[in-house]
DNA sequence: AGAGTTCGGTACGCAAGCGTACTTTCAAAC
DNA sequence: GTTTGAAAGTACGCTTGCGTACCGAACTCT
């Protein structure tokens, strides 16, 4: 609706849904302590057991949060885009990262150190309230993923993944079958079959790591309920952007 | 180690790890606003979309947190015992429950209403810090479960489940194959096979809904890494009880 | 004591996805 | 222009778990 050309000068931190939801005063104070960085495709922001240093507010692009198991396979447990923040655990007072965070689509990200974040959130306050609510939504996303990974077919989960990426990265984004298989926790060859079906159905198109979403409505049909469920929960908890 | 006979008079709220971790002053103030209830096996504390009313600190017993899908099947996403608190989302400011909470082993539970909880946690403070750290551990548990449900065999997950129950409910607890299958997100008949193997191996014994753990070390062998991983994370985040 | 219900064991054909491996196709590097 | 490597397609036998179904044993209620 309304254009936000007005804040183009200060680099539009408000493209991040959380920063946007703040009152102008709080936002200004928070923005003053943010640092803007470019994160290229596949860059790792942090790994399990790393000392937690920053929280990350994406202005564009996508960060995947991945649980890594002993045998070094892993599964995406959540993804974070403009709507959210990565490294929730730092906000919650943990000193170490539990998961791995990887850039899934080239991103502009505003980051804040733990020390500065504490300055803004100790004694409660607006930012604190907001991040607590985001944490609640993040927990919802995780809970849904537990059920999804157990109950839903790869075809459905694959469609869901495409929708989540499209929401955050647009109609086109980089992803190879190999990488996607690591996100979904299945073999590369299994992804090839599932993605092949979606392509045959005309819902997506891909070549050599370039994915294009063609038919969003079709994907929503093909996806499990989890996409809608999580989406609605976010819309309720982090209101109107 | 130390007996806590000293507070037997006030009903030993300190059996809950979170309450115990508080300073004596804060604890006294918190306890004053707690209400003690008995929760029988299989009682539902709350369902998805219910208005969130209470947080629950178990003094004994186990509460299972279950994600329910549209087709009304569900999967346990986490469990809460003496070490924790159920309904984290209320603390985080959400007004509705996302998951279902069911009593898995008869429990004594101290509950606190959302309004009173806010009184104790607004403007930060000791309880707030502690619950934030617990939230972090809870998120770790969820993340691990996402990976576990995707990557590990039923046999491993079944052993893990027994260990988690034993930690919280002791060597003996009620559980039918039917109910267990709902927790693990598989068929009842599949559970019968997996549990049968564990019994044949002498690790557990069961009849008609009464489960007994016989060989803890053996179960740890049979379980996936997830048990140990989650356990260690809790011990680090909610220190020494 | 008898009837009904719950719990657990078992079976059989089927589908999804795994492990492994071979092949083709395309793009970038030299 | 050729070489090299990455991406994607395909195949085959195998394992896990599903859907459905039937059965006996044990407990409960009357």
Residues of B in contact with A128 (CB under 8 A): 124
Of B65, B135, B226, the CB nearest to A92: B135
Q: For A153, name the nearest residue in chain B, comparing CA atoms only.
A: B150
- The partner residue sitting opposite A124, judged by closest CB among B77, B122, B142, is B122
Helices and strands in chain B: count of H runs, count of E runs: 10, 10
Task: Render pLDDT for B11-68 as a digit per residue (tens, 0 to 9).
Answer: 689 999 999 999 999 999 999 999 999 999 999 999 999 999 999 999 999 999 999 9
pLDDT tens-digit profile of A17-66? 999 999 999 999 999 999 999 999 999 999 999 999 999 999 999 999 99
DSSP B194: H
Report how far residue A154's alpha carbon sits from residue A184's, in angstroms, rounded to the nearest whole number.
8
Query: Per CA to C1' distance, which residue is closest to C18?
Result: A187
| Chain segment A115-161, per-residue pLDDT in tens | 999 999 988 889 999 999 999 999 999 999 999 999 999 999 999 99
Q: Which residues pair with B110 in a beta bridge?
A: B36, B57
Question: What is the predicted pLDDT for the residue at A3?
Answer: 38
**From CA A40, how far away is CA A35, in angstroms rounded?**
16
- Kindly determine whether residue A136 and residue B74, on different chains, have CB atoms separated by under 8 Å: no
- Using the structure, give the distance in angstroms from the CA atom of B175 to the C1' atom of C16, rounded to a whole number: 29
Q: Tell me the CA–C1' distance in angstroms for A179 and C22.
A: 21
Could you give the residue ranges of the DSSP H alpha helices within chain A? Answer: 17-20, 24-31, 88-91, 114-121, 126-151, 154-169, 177-184, 188-200, 216-222, 226-237
Alpha-carbon distance A144 to nearest alpha carbon in chain B (angstroms): 7
How does pLDDT run across B64-102, given as a tens digit for each residue? 999 998 777 889 999 999 999 999 999 999 999 999 999
Residue A65: both structure tokens together: 């949060």
Confirm if A11 and A36 have CB atoms less than 8 A apart: yes
Nearest nucleotide, CA B208 to C1': C7
Q: How many residues does chain A have?
A: 241
CB–CB of A92 and B233 under 8 A? no
B238 touches chain A (CB under 8 A): no
- Helix, strand, coil: what percent of chain A each, to 5? 50, 20, 30
A77: which chain B residues are within 8 Å (Cβ-Cβ)?
Answer: 142-143, 146-147
Q: How far is CA B97 from CA A239, B19, B68, B73, B114, in A?
A: 17, 23, 11, 17, 12
pLDDT above 50 for B7? no
* Mutual angle of helices A126-151 and A154-169, in 10-degree steps: 150
Cα dihedral A102/A105/A110/A115 (nearest 10): -10
Of A74, A206, A112, A62, nearest to B229 (Cα)?
A74
The answer to whether A169 touches A81, Cβ cutoff 8 Å, is: yes
> Which among B66, B64, B62, B65 has a CA at the least distance from the CA of B81?
B62
- In degrees, rounded to 5, the angle at the alpha carbon of residue B201 between the alpha carbons of residues B235 and B63 is 40
B195 is near strand C: CB distance < 7 Å:
yes
Check if A138 contacts B (Cβ < 8 Å).
yes
Q: How high is the pLDDT of residue B193? A: 95
pLDDT at A10: 52
Do the Cβ atoms of A103 and A43 come closer than 8 Å? yes
CA R_g for chain A:
18
Residue A60 is encoded by which pair of tokens? 């564009």
């Amino acid at each position: 609706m309304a254009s936000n050309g007005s804040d183009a000068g200060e680099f539009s931190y408000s493209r991040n849904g959380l920063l946007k939801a703040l009152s102008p005063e709080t936002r200004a104070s928070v923005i003053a302590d943010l640092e803007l960085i470019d994160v290229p495709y596949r860059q790792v922001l942090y790994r399990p057991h790393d000392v937690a240093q920053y929280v990350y507010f994406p202005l564009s692009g996508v960060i995947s949060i991945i649980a890594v198991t002993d045998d070094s396979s892993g599964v995406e447990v959540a993804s974070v885009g403009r709507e959210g923040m990565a490294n929730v655990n730092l906000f919650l007072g943990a000193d170490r990262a539990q998961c791995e965070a990887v850039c899934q689509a080239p991103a502009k990200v505003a980051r804040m150190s733990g020390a500065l974040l504490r300055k803004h959130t100790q004694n409660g306050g607006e930012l604190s309230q907001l991040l607590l609510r985001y944490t609640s939504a993040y927990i919802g996303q995780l809970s849904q993923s537990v059920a999804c990974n157990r109950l839903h077919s790869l075809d459905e989960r694959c469609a869901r993944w495409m929708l989540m990426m499209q929401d955050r990265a647009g109609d086109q984004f980089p992803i190879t079958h190999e990488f996607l298989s690591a996100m979904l926790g299945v073999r590369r060859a299994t992804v090839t079959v599932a993605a092949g079906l979606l392509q045959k159905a005309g819902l997506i198109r891909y070549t050599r790591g370039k994915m294009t979403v063609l038919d969003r409505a079709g994907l929503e049909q093909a996806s499990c309920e989890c996409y809608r469920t999580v989406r609605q929960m976010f819309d309720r908890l982090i209101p109107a952007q």
